[in-house]
Structure 1
C-alpha cells in the first residue's frame, strides 16, 4: 500500500509542478511578471508559515546561521529564480521553460564542484554536466549574428533561473543549519516575496488591479499559490522523508512531460523536435551525474520491497 501511495503522490507532485508552468503562461497575460511572482509567494508564504507554526517546534529562525540560510533561500530560491523564470516565460513556451528548469539538479553538481570540493563529480559526472549544457544550447539555438533575439534572451533568462535555484540549493545545504525545512521554506517564501515586490517597484511595473479580476488571472494565481506551492511542498516534504532526495529529483524529468501535455491542451503549444532533443540531453546528463546515487537508491528500494 505504501508503494502505491508514494507513486500516486509522486505523480501528483509532478502534475502540480508541471502544470504550474502553464498557469504562469496563462497569468502573464494579465499580471506583470515580477509582481505576479511576488503575489504568488505572498499567499504561499503565509500558508506555509501557518503550516510550520502548527507542525514544528522551531517555526522561526534563530541565530546567524539559520537567518543566513533563510536569506540565501529568499534571494536565490525564491526571488532570483522566479524573477528570471516569470520574465523569461513571457516569450517562450511553458514546455521549453520546464525543460530548462529541469537542468537545476545537473547544475547543482557543477556548483558543488566549485564550492564543495569534497562533492566534486567524477569525470563521468563532468560529462553529464556538459551534456546538460549542450541540451540547453540545443533548446536555445543561439544565432551568433543575433544573440539578442527575443526568444533566445527569454530562454537565457529561464536558464539563469535554473542556475539561481541550483546555486541556492548548494549554498543552503552547505550552511547545514538545524532549521526544519518547513520553516526555511516559509520564511524564504515571505522574504523572497518582499524582494520581488521591491524589484517590481524599482523597474516600474504597471499596476492595473482591474486586470487581476479576470477569472484566468485569479485562477492562475490561486493555482500557483495554493496548488503548485503550498500543497505541492507538503507533498514534497512527505516524499522527501519517504523516498530521499535522489528519487525526488526525478520529478524534474516527469514534470516537463506534464507541462507539454497541459500546454498543448490549454494553450495549444507544440513541443518542437529540437526542444525534445534538448530534454533528452538534459535528462541523460542527470542520469550520468546521479548514476551512483540512483543505483544505490533503487538497490535500497528493491531490498526493502523484497523484505516486505
Structure 2
C-alpha cells in the first residue's frame, strides 16, 4: 500500500541508523511471511470470511484513532477496492491453489499497473527506465502464466491479477487524499472493507465448522498475524519510517517482500519452483525494482 504521512521535508534524515535499517527489514519479513499465515488460516476459514474477520479486528483501532480528514466517499471507495477487493481476490486465489510464495511475487504486479494507471489518469508518463522495467515485468508475468500446470490454475493466476489491479487502483485513491496519517487511514479503510466481504461470505460460503483446539489456534493466529502484526504493526512502523526518511530510502525495502515470501513458503510449506517459473518471478521482481528506481531519472 502506498502510505503518506504529514511531515516536513526538512525532517527527513539522509542515512538510516542501523536500528532503523533493521526495522525496515523486519517489516519486509512480516509482510513476506504473512502469505504463509494466510495459507494456514485458509485451511480453517473460507476466504471472504477470513478477509472480513481480518479487517474487523484491524478496524478496532478506529475507536481510538480520529477519522482522517478526507471525504467519506473516497475513503469508503479505497477501503472497498484497495482492502476488500485486493485481499478478497488474493485470499480466493490462494484458496484455489495459488502457492503463497508465487502469490507474494505476483501481487507485485501492482507496481507497473500503478504506473500505467497514473499515466492514463494523471498524465504522469513513465520514464524510459520505468517503461523498460514494465516490459520486463510483463515478460515475467507471461513466463509464469505459460508455466502454469496442475498445481496452479489459470483461474488462480487471474484472481491474483485482480488483486494487483485493486491495489493499484487503490493507490490512485490514496494519492488523491493528500497528506494523511497512514495508520489512521488504514484503520478506517479497514472498517469499510468488512461489509462487502462479509456479505460475499454470507452469500457464497458455507458457515465453517468450528475446528478442534489446534485448528482454532491456527485460525486465531492467522487472523492476529494479519490484522495486528501485519496491518497495525507493519503499516504503523512503515509510516513511522516514512516520516523520518525520504520515500526513496524506505520504499526499496518492500522489494524484499516477494523474496522473503517465496523463501518462507519454500521452507515452511515445501513450495517448489521450476526453472521457467523461477525465471518469470525473477523478471517480475527485476521489473518492479526498475520501476521503483527508474523514477529518479528521465
Give the TM-score band, short-chain normalised: 0.7 to 0.9
Whether contact under 8 Å (2:147, 2:277) holds in the other structure is: no
TM-score between the two structures when normalised by the length of structure 2: 0.85
- Alpha carbons of structure 1 residues 191 and 50: separation in structure 2 relative to 1, 3 Å: same
Task: State the partner residue of 1:95.
Answer: 101
One of 226, 237, 240 as aligned partner of 1:238 = 240
Question: Which of residues 101, 118, 125 is equivalent to 1:120?
Answer: 125
Gaps of 5+ in 2: 1-14
CA offset at residue 61 of structure 1?
Answer: 4.5
RMSD of the TM alignment (CA)?
2.5
> Partners in 2 of 1:150 and 1:292 — Cα distance?
32
Greater shift, 129-138 or 14-23, is seen at 129-138
Quote the residue 2:222 is aligned against. Answer: 220
Q: TM-score, normalised by structure 1?
A: 0.83
1:229 deviates by 1.4
Are 1:34 and 2:36 matched, yes or no? no
Following superposition, the deviation at residue 208 of structure 1 comes to 2.0
The 3-state SS of whatever aligns with 2:153 is: helix
What is the deviation of 1:292? Answer: 4.5
1:226–1:209 distance in 2 versus 1, CA, 3 Å = farther
Q: 1:188 to 1:150 in 2, by over 3 A?
A: same
Whether the 8 Å CA contact 2:252–2:289 is kept in 1: the answer is no
**2:11 corresponding residue in structure 1:** none
2:135 & 2:272 partners in 1: Cα distance?
Answer: 27
Query: With CA pairs under 8 Å and 6+ residues apart, which has the higher RCO, 1 or 2?
Result: 2
Higher helix share: 1
Structure 1, unaligned stretches of length 5 or more?
A: 54-58, 297-308
Using a 3 Å threshold, how does the CA distance of structure 1 residues 17 and 149 change in structure 2: closer, same or farther?
Answer: closer
Shift of 1:184: 1.8
Q: Distance in 2 between matches of 1:68 and 1:120?
A: 27
Q: Which stretch shows the higher mean deviation, 260-269 or 104-113?
A: 260-269
More deviation, 85-94/192-201: 192-201
Matches within 5 A, 1:1-308: 2-47=16-61, 49-50=62-63, 53=65, 59-61=66-68, 65-90=70-95, 91-117=97-123, 119-141=124-146, 151-173=153-175, 175-177=176-178, 179-203=180-204, 205-211=205-211, 214=215, 215-293=217-295
